[in-house]
Amino acid sequence: MASTQTEKHARRMRAVVHERYGPPEVLHVELVAQPSPGPNQLLVEVHACTVNRTDCGFRAAKPFIVRFFSGIVRPKKQILGTEFAGVVEAVGDAVTEFAISDRVFGANANVFGANANVFGTQADYVLVKQDAPVAMMPAGVSFADAAAMCDGAILALAYLRQAAVGPRTRIVVYGASGSIGSSAVQLAKHFGADVTAVCGCGERRARALSRRRHRSRLPARRLCRNQRSL
Region of 16 please: left (phi>0), alpha (psi -120 to 50) or beta. Answer: beta
The C-alpha atoms of residue 1 and residue 160 are separated, in whole angstroms, by: 47
SS3 of 178-191: CHHHHHHHHHHHHC
pLDDT confidence of residue 51: 93
Between 229 and 60, the more confident residue is 60
Which of these three, 147, 176, 191, is where a domain ends? 147
Q: Which residues pair with 30 in a beta bridge?
A: 15
What's the structural domain count of the chain?
Answer: 2
Is the domain of 16 the same as that of 117? yes
Domain that holds residue 201: 150-229
Question: Angle at CA 24, nearest 5°, toward 15 and 104?
Answer: 40
> Do 90 and 83 meet the contact criterion of CB atoms below 8 Å apart?
no
pLDDT confidence of residue 54: 87
Q: What is the pTM of this model?
A: 0.76
Is the domain of 59 the same as that of 118? yes
